[in-house]
């Protein structure tokens, strides 16, 4: 009996010790939670106190101010600036604030960050090439480019038949502000005998221009270009331009290619049509022959544009066409 009593006593003592150890951990955990909560409340109280001790200020109007001016206005109110984006705008100069959040006149506390959107100025677009198209197609192309059709005038033309666009202002591929006006000149067909228009002599032989100028009593002024990519003896440029009206006694200035001629020089006619699409393409055409590599063309072209060039070369040559830096055609000629 005494042995059983001793065992019961030992079990009772051991159980109390186990219960006592578990209770200590519970109490310790509760104390820890209490102090964590106390710290969190204290931090929240301190932060809130600091925030509410800051003065209330009025947000200044930053619109149409450049970034330097905007920063100065905000600094005077102990406010900060953050650029939230860049957007095109017609009436706000490039680099100036277009809009802001919070808005001007709002009441905020010192230290608040004001988000602003910066103007990149008027959106710029390329003028489409409408020369040689009918009026309806020209008007559609201009509107699709984000431009406006201005006045449409009529003029005689020896280059374009009646009903087609003779010229435009600004010129094709010019970079202008979106919404700019484009003026068009529509062909009335060939002029009466009393009106003399300058033909298009570009890529023609000098003799052709000489005969025409003599028949019309026009003073022909000839200049030479030894660096021209045109074949020797052909006209590289003229002034006035084709279809300009000219009177007897006036001057017609032409530039004739005088590039050195090699014994084996030949001419290759290049014809290339750009695919239809929405975006302009940067076209680059090069010629590599016995004389080295020469850049023939490097300019932006509208979708659907046609390129026709007479390219002189010597011996074995390679003509390459690049669109936006990517080789799209390579042709070897002998």
Residues of the chain with pLDDT under 50: 1-2, 4-7, 9, 12-13, 51
CB 312 within 8 A of CB 302: no
Digit-coded pLDDT (tens) for 245-291: 999 999 999 999 887 776 667 888 889 988 887 666 778 888 888 77
Instruction: Give the Cα separation of 318 and 145 in Å (integer).
Output: 35
- pLDDT for 22: 67
Q: In this structure, what token pair is assigned to residue 14? A: 């051991």
Report the candidate in 199, 233, 192 with the shortest Cα–Cα distance to residue 213.
Answer: 199
DSSP letter for each residue of 188-211 = --SPPTT--B----TTSBHHHHHH
CB 209 within 8 A of CB 220: yes
Instruction: Give the Cα separation of 143 and 134 in Å (integer).
Output: 15
Report the candidate in 157, 166, 181, 156 with the shortest Cα–Cα distance to residue 135.
Answer: 166
- pLDDT for 295: 81
What is the H or E stretch that residue 135 is in?
A: helix 135-144
What is the H or E stretch that residue 212 is in?
A: helix 206-215
Report the candidate in 146, 166, 148 with the shortest Cα–Cα distance to residue 157.
Answer: 166
Which 3 state secondary structure label does DSSP give 253?
strand
Task: Locate CATH 2.60.40.2560 in the chain.
Answer: 265-333
Q: Among all chains, which residue has been given the structure tokens 């909560």?
A: 37
The 3 state secondary structure assigned to 284-303 is EEEEEECCEEEEEEEEEECC
Please tell me what DSSP assigns to residue 119.
E
- Domain 206-257 belongs to what topology? Trypsin Inhibitor V; Chain A (3.30.10)
Instruction: Give the Cα separation of 292 and 264 in Å (integer).
Output: 15
- Domain 56-119 belongs to what topology? Trypsin Inhibitor V; Chain A (3.30.10)
- Domain 265-333 belongs to what topology? Immunoglobulin-like (2.60.40)
- pLDDT for 293: 82
Instruction: Give the Cα separation of 103 and 108 in Å (integer).
Output: 11
Task: Locate CATH 3.30.10.20 in the chain.
Answer: 56-119, 124-187, 206-257
Phi, psi of 169 (to 5 degrees): -135, 120
Digit-coded pLDDT (tens) for 11-45: 544 555 555 566 667 667 776 776 676 676 566 55
Residues 6+ apart with CB under 8 A from 249: 217, 218, 219
Report the candidate in 217, 211, 218, 271 with the shortest Cα–Cα distance to residue 235.
Answer: 211
CATH 3.40.50.2000 correct for 124-187: no
Report the candidate in 292, 329, 294 with the shortest Cα–Cα distance to residue 311.
Answer: 294
CB 311 within 8 A of CB 228: no
CA distances from 79 to 51, 73, 107, 151, 303 (A): 14, 9, 12, 51, 49
Q: What number of other Cβ atoms are within 10 A of residue 59's Cβ? A: 20
Q: What is the pTM of this model?
A: 0.51
């Amino acid at each position: 009996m005494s042995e059983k009593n001793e065992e019961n006593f030992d079990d009772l003592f051991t159980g109390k010790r186990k219960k006592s150890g578990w209770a200590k951990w519970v109490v310790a955990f509760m104390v820890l939670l209490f102090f964590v909560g106390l710290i969190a409340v204290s931090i929240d109280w301190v932060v809130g106190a600091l925030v509410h001790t800051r003065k209330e200020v009025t947000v200044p109007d930053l619109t149409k101010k450049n970034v330097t001016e905007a920063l100065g206005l905000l600094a005077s109110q102990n406010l900060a600036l953050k650029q939230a984006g860049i957007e095109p705008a017609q009436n706000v100069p490039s680099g100036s604030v277009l809009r802001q959040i919070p808005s001007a006149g709002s009441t905020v506390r010192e230290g608040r960050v004001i988000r602003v959107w910066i103007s990149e100025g008027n959106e710029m677009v390329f003028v489409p090439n409408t020369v040689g198209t009918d009026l309806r197609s020209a008007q559609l192309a201009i509107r699709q480019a984000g431009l406006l059709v201005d006045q449409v005038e009529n003029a005689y033309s020896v280059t374009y038949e009646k009903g087609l666009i003779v010229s435009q202002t600004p010129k094709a591929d010019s970079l202008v502000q979106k919404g700019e006006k484009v003026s068009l000149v529509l062909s009335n067909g060939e002029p009466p005998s009393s009106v003399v228009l300058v033909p298009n002599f570009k890529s023609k032989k000098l003799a052709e221009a000489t005969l025409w100028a003599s028949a019309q009593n026009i003073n022909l002024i000839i200049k030479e270009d030894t660096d021209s990519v045109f074949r020797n003896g052909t006209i590289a440029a003229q002034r006035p331009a084709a279809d300009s009206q000219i009177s007897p006694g006036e001057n017609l200035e032409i530039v004739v290619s005088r590039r050195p001629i090699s014994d084996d020089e030949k001419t290759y006619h290049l014809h290339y049509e750009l695919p239809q699409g929405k975006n302009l393409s940067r076209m680059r055409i090069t010629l590599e022959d016995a004389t080295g590599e020469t850049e023939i063309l490097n300019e932006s072209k509208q979708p659907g544009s046609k390129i026709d060039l007479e390219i002189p070369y010597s011996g074995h040559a390679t003509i390459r066409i690049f669109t936006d830096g990517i080789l799209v055609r390579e042709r070897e000629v002998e």
